[in-house]
Amino acid sequence: MAPNNLKPTGTLFENDEDVPAENIPVTEYKKTVKSHLSWPMIIVYAYFHIVAVYGIYLIFTSAKILTSLSVVVLYELGILGITAGVHRLWAHRAYKAKWQLRLLLTILQTLAFQDPIIDWARDHRVHHKFNETDADPYNARRGFFFSHIGWMFFRKHPEVKAKGKGIDFSDLYADPFLRYQKKYYYYLMTIVCFVLPTYMPMYLWNETFYNSFTINILRYILTLNSTLAVNSVAHRWGSKPYDKSLNPSENLTMSLLTLGEGWHNYHHAFPWDYKTAELGKYSTNLTTAFIDLMAKIGWAYDLKSTSDEMIKKRVQRTGDGSHELWGWGDKDQSKEEMNEAVIKHAKEQ
């Protein structure tokens, strides 16, 4: 697709239709458009990354083992708040959740400190609707660094705001948990993301403040960069079995780091699928396992998925030919392969 094509390039939900954003006046991107850097953001995140590197050193030299383990636990919980919460539930409406689960996921997303849910979901809907155009908040066509973290340091391109006006966000503002989180976000984020994770190791197993604070910053930076890498790494490296016209790709490493968000070619082809992947394989998609568990206890419901027939048609129509078989009897296995296979020690009929 052309980088300045500002027609909608993707769908958001199962019943998504063309949006009025198509009719919003478009300002073509020009090199003369000045990019405004946010130096306070650059300084803050440069500091965070320096502290995080030192946190790695402290883990191997002076931190208690429980402090190191807490990094893993809080990392996974924060990622879950992003994947099961703001991404699959609120940004894509791939399933519905009762208030207990919505409250839990709101807390976990706050732990991850990646802006209020309303803002995160708003940007992500625009990203999918106008993928890799000037209206995409983290447009991968502007380079790897920009799509990873650079977009956080610049003011939004005018088209991001213009096209965003044509997308419906009323469901986000209708959720009282999201309104409350947005209203008191910086108070809640400071407590949930920094104060409590720093205080708990000091109180529970006598960790030093210095170690606890520094290693919690490491935990935050790991969570942040893993999430951001879906926009950069998974838009650059991997196969495209579902739609070769899309840069988002299937990336196993990213799926392992983000509890299942690396199956990105599938996700951009079928963004309403709560699994964000064709197969519900829990080992590389723990978020799906979590949502399925929540459905079993009655906290999640109306889980949307994509039919095998729809997937097959999309693979044949737009895939790059890399769609894999899971094994014998896979729906995509040809009759020729089955007829010519060598079967040893076959059981007599």
Q: Look at residue 255 in the predicted model and tell me its pLDDT.
A: 93
Q: Look at residue 280 in the predicted model and tell me its pLDDT.
A: 63
Counting residues of the chain whose pLDDT is more than 90, the rounded percentage is 58
**CA-CA distance, 31 to 39, in Å (whole number)?**
21
**Three-class SS of residue 149?**
coil
Q: Look at residue 26 in the predicted model and tell me its pLDDT.
A: 39
Counting residues of the chain whose pLDDT is more than 70, the rounded percentage is 81
Q: Look at residue 349 in the predicted model and tell me its pLDDT.
A: 54
Confidence label for 27 from pLDDT (cuts 50, 70 and 90): very low
Domain boundaries in the chain? Answer: 1-236, 239-349
Q: Bigger pLDDT: 80 or 337?
A: 80
Q: How many helices (H) and strands (E) does the chain have?
A: 16, 2
Confidence label for 216 from pLDDT (cuts 50, 70 and 90): very high
Highest averaged pLDDT of the listed ranges 10-19, 162-171, 287-296, 328-337: 287-296
Q: Look at residue 343 in the predicted model and tell me its pLDDT.
A: 43
Confidence label for 28 from pLDDT (cuts 50, 70 and 90): very low
Q: Bigger pLDDT: 173 or 343?
A: 173
- pLDDT per position as a tens digit, 272-282: 899 998 876 78
Q: Look at residue 291 in the predicted model and tell me its pLDDT.
A: 96
Residue 262 is encoded by which pair of tokens? Answer: 């690396």
**CA-CA distance, 207 to 62, in Å (whole number)?**
10
The separation between the first and the last C-alpha atoms of the chain, rounded to the nearest angstrom, is 55
Confidence label for 204 from pLDDT (cuts 50, 70 and 90): very high
Helix axes 99-112, 65-80, angle to 10 degrees: 120
Confidence label for 310 from pLDDT (cuts 50, 70 and 90): confident
**Three-class SS of residue 37?**
strand
DSSP letter for 283, please.
Answer: G
**CA-CA distance, 20 to 288, in Å (whole number)?**
33
- pLDDT per position as a tens digit, 40-98: 999 999 999 999 999 999 999 999 999 999 999 999 999 999 999 999 999 999 999 99
- Name the H helices within the chain: 39-61, 65-80, 99-112, 117-129, 144-148, 158-164, 170-173, 176-183, 185-189, 196-205, 209-232, 252-257, 264-269, 286-296, 308-318, 335-340
What's the mean per-residue pLDDT of the chain? Answer: 85
215 alpha-carbon distance from chain centroid: 24
Mean per-residue pLDDT, 286-311: 92
Confidence label for 24 from pLDDT (cuts 50, 70 and 90): very low
Q: Look at residue 329 in the predicted model and tell me its pLDDT.
A: 52
Determine which helix (DSSP H) or strand (DSSP E) holds 97, and give its type and residue range.
Answer: strand 96-97
Confidence label for 253 from pLDDT (cuts 50, 70 and 90): very high
Confidence label for 158 from pLDDT (cuts 50, 70 and 90): confident
